Structure 1
Amino acid sequence: MTKEKLLAMPADDYMNAEQLAFFTELLQTMKVEIHERIEQSRVTIESLDTPADPADAASVEEERQWLVNTIDRDQRLLPQLEMALGRIADESFGWCDDSGEPIGLKRLLISPTTKYCIEAQERQEQIDKHQRQA
């Protein structure tokens, strides 16, 4: 199924078997791509040599740090993908954890690991903001 076909489906078909299969495939593909990206980043880090020139060494260290940050970000995303696949398995995927309302196909295409509709996400961010300021 394509994104266009998914978005063209009637609202009554929200989170039907076809849509769940689409998101399962999307999440599985994302997992594979992330694992590959992590491995490639690790190989690249291992291949980086520290040059004698301090300016070149700083540049290599900056690249190394960027790759480490990329690996860290990707490793934090993997459990979120697993949780989203778990929500598909227990049939709660696509439904807001806070309100129980549909999250929406467009939002799920942009962020397939999200657990909240836009309104609930905004409330959550406001709560987080207030807690950080306190």
Structure 2
Amino acid sequence: MSVVVTDYRPSDDEPFMNERQREYFRKKLLDWKDDILKESRETLQHLADESQNHPDLADRASSETDRAIELRARDRQRKLISKIDAALKRLEDGSYGYCEETGEPISLKRLDARPIATLSIEAQERHERRERVYRDD
């Protein structure tokens, strides 16, 4: 019988992306995905419950606005799920945790805060600076 230690936190004192770290991030990603899917089921149920006709125009307008906001949130969640799935694939192929731009390890702190990160902080900052320069044109 294996004992699962729930208070495990990846540390810089151990080999980067060892089996224990990969399992930690796999669980974190899967739990996050499950939470999003649960929330989306609740949203769909709420939308179905709310779909009754509102005789009052103000109530109907308010309901339509709420519906639009919820659908936008659902679209963001759908995109987030695809990023989580991509991170899970990287875990399988061994590229998880390494910067797509430099190939260097992404800090464990960054991965813990944003487990779908594909760029190191330095590469992300360069990317954002380039975006700002082009956006200002």
Same topology, TM > 0.5: yes
State how many pairs are aligned: 132
Residue number in structure 1 paired with 2:40: 38
- Could you tell me which of 72, 75, 80 is aligned with 2:75? 72
Write out the 4+ residue segments of structure 1 that deviate beyond 4 Å after TM superposition: none
Any gaps of 5 or more consecutive residues in structure 2?
none
Residue number in structure 1 paired with 2:24: 22
CA offsets, 1:12-61, max 9 Å, x none?
Answer: 42211101001111111122222222222112112112412222222211
* Cα distance in 1 between the residues matched to 2:14 and 2:48: 51
More helix by share: 1
- Could you tell me which of 107, 111, 114 is aligned with 1:111? 114
Give identity over the alignment, percent: 32
The letter of the residue matching 1:18 is R
Any gaps of 5 or more consecutive residues in structure 1?
none
* Cα distance in 1 between the residues matched to 2:90 and 2:38: 24
TM-score by length of 1: 0.87
The letter of the residue matching 1:89 is E
* Cα distance in 1 between the residues matched to 2:123 and 2:13: 20
Greater mean alpha carbon deviation, residues 11-20 or residues 73-82: 11-20
TM-score by length of 2: 0.86
Residue number in structure 1 paired with 2:125: 122
* Cα distance in 2 between the residues matched to 1:43 and 1:10: 44
User: CA 1:66/1:13 → structure 2, altered by over 3 Å: closer, same or farther?
Assistant: same
**RMSD value, Cα:** 1.7
